[in-house]
A and B are shown apart, each in its own frame.
Chain A
Amino acid sequence: MKYEIYSLSEHSISLYFEQKISPEINDLVLSACEWINKNPMIGFVEVVPAYASLTVFYKILEIKPLIKSGTISEYVEDYLKSIPFEELTQLEREPKIVEIPVKYNGEDLISLCEAKEIDRRELIKLHTAPDYRVYMMGFLPGFAYLGGLDKKLSMPRRAKPRIRVPKGSVGIAGNQTGIYPVSSPGGWQLIGQTDAVLFDPKMKKMTLLNNGDTVRFVEG
């Protein structure tokens, strides 16, 4: 298994797999995170998955008494190296499928259609067709980076970001599509709006979407 380990801070360390956006590598990241959560080291705070890497946050004070020589960072590095990577690749994941209803009425819809020389119906067809994968959570609480956008819809971010993008806005940025879980400034091209609740700290799982989920957009 090829990977590289780098300290992020004196309280966190990252493990990078091959830097490629692929379901296989992202599966490996999630399996490794699962292993870490089931076999936490002393001083473990949390593990954060990304596209093709994971980061472990830890408490120096709790690990210090265990150290005979070397740094605490090296101790955590050894722990990461002890993950049985070869066994992890055998794990099968059952993706959760989440359907998200979208009203395709976004403020950038017309300009995007014009740029792509397609009509609104064609855009809806292209956007609702794929199964999208949640590759990573970040940017905002409950915000999912979705991969799998049809290349025909790929569009750079707006030159001038909006000061306020309303909660529930569905947008496109480069080869990604995503939903704003809360109102925030943002530069994504807005194509629609959903009533789905993406983030609520009072919900049991807090976020509608989670790493590894499959997302399908439906018109309505």
Chain B
Amino acid sequence: MIFLKSGILTSIQDIGRCGFKDKGINPSGAMDTLSMRLLNILLGNEDTEAVLEFHYPTPTITFEEHALFAIGGANFSGSLNNKSVSNWKVLEAKPGDMLCFGKKVNGERAYIAIKGGFNLKKSLGSNSTNLLGGFGGKKIEKGDSLDLNLKNGQLFAATKKVYLAPKTVNVNLRPAFEQNQEIRVIVGKDLSNLDLESRNKIFNQSFIISSHADRMGYRLEGDCLNLQSSEEQISSSVAFGTIQLLPDGQLVILMADHQTTGGYPKLANVISVDLSILAQLSVGQHVTFREISMEVAESVFLKQEREMKKFKSAVQLYL
């Protein structure tokens, strides 16, 4: 596939790069891993197969060869040769077909998964694009071309099978987001160091996603939160979803391109299931935080994994 337009930020991502955080190498990876995995499963790929992640303004793509693909995550009104196409469905492209996007309907990050995946060489065990380090995957520029793994012959065989399998992702499985989104968190090491008023506020006020929201982190706007004692902290590890308190009393949530370590107080951590929802929220939207126990957080994660497994089995039955 060839990119006639690159879009504002289009990159190859997968589940992220693990095992090198001790060298300062951040994980990167898809922001909305749920959408990424669902699209891959729908196409009968490994759920960790690399996908294209793109934002609005969107890329424009021409297919050089036959391909089966699916779009999901944000809805940017896709159209193939000027005929509108739906998200979460198996789609077929012929050589010369053009994929465009129109209006931004909802969400911030959309994904394209390709049957069989892209022909890419892994870097440090992953195809995710490390935008900071400038390695791995690919950040798409105008005129770039991506090679697909499945060539015509293999693809026709695959096509027949995929069309027998479920053709869409069940609505209940897709990430759903609301205007006032509740985000579930587990408590962090420094939450108990908030003063009483702030401890009340963090779970009882809504925060606005500020314009400083990108793949590295989301800065939030709300009433200032204060610590009881503000000794300087020594930096330690952080994770995707860590909510830190900045010196100005505002919160930042670390996202996929976060640094591996941080020195600000860690108040809470967004549960991984809700990170995919957070990844789709836009500037100006409101979020509230709800604290859940570790036990519940683990069971929410395990429940989603069971549902993914079920969907996978339903698709694989035909492949």
Residues of A within 8 A of B (CB): 6-12, 14, 16, 19-21, 33, 45-55, 57, 60-61, 64, 71-74, 136-145, 181-182, 184, 199, 201, 206-207, 210-211
Contacts and interface: CB of A to CB of B under 8 A. Distances in A.
Given A140-B133, A201-B124, 15 more contacts: A7-B294, A9-B240, A10-B269, A10-B294, A11-B272, A20-B234, A50-B236, A57-B239, A60-B301, A73-B294, A137-B22, A139-B259, A141-B135, A142-B25, A199-B133
Complex A-B, nearest 8 residue pairs according to Cβ-Cβ distance, in ascending order: A138-B261, A55-B237, A141-B133, A137-B24, A6-B189, A50-B236, A53-B236, A9-B269
B83 interface: no
B266 A141 contact: no
A136 B136 CA distance: 23
Given A73-B294, A137-B24, A138-B261, A206 B239 contact: no
Contacts of A9: 186, 239-242, 269, 271-272
Contacts of B259: 138-140
A139 B261 contact: yes
A53 B23 CA distance: 15
B24 to A, nearest CB: 4
B85 to A, nearest CB: 34
Residue in A50, A57, A72 whose Cβ sees the most chain B Cβ within 10 Å: A50
Contact of A48 (B134, B237, B269, B301): B237
Nearest to B124: A201
B81 to A, nearest CB: 39
Interface in B206-252: 233-242
Contacts of A16: 189, 236
Residue in A52, A53, A201 whose Cβ sees the most chain B Cβ within 10 Å: A201
Interface stretch (B13-21, B86-94, B149-157, B310-318): B13-21
Given A7-B294, A60-B298, A64-B302, A21 B234 contact: yes
Interface in B261-276: 261, 266, 269, 271-272
B23 A141 contact: yes
B136 A10 contact: no
Provide the main secondary structure of the chain A interface: mixed
Residue in B19, B133, B134, B259 whose Cβ sees the most chain A Cβ within 10 Å: B133
B189 to A, nearest CB: 4
17 contacts: A6-B188, A7-B294, A8-B188, A8-B242, A9-B241, A9-B271, A10-B272, A16-B236, A19-B233, A49-B22, A57-B18, A71-B295, A136-B235, A136-B261, A142-B24, A143-B24, A201-B135
Residue in B188, B234, B297 whose Cβ sees the most chain A Cβ within 10 Å: B234
B237 A10 contact: no
B145 interface: no
A7 B186 contact: yes
Contacts, number: 146
A16 B237 CA distance: 11
Contacts of B295: 71
Interface in B253-305: 259-261, 266, 269, 271-272, 294-295, 297-298, 301-302, 305
B19 to A, nearest CB: 5
A52 B302 CA distance: 32
Contacts of A53: 234, 236-237
A8 B21 contact: no
A199 to B, nearest CB: 7
Interface string B174-207: 0000000000001011000000000000000000
Contact of A201 (B26, B133, B186): B133
B79 interface: no
Interface string B20-40: 111111100000000000000
Given A9-B272, A52-B234, A141-B26, A46 B21 contact: yes
Contact of B24 (A7, A47, A207): A207
A182 B234 CA distance: 24
B132 interface: yes
Contacts of A140: 24, 132-133, 259
A184 to B, nearest CB: 6
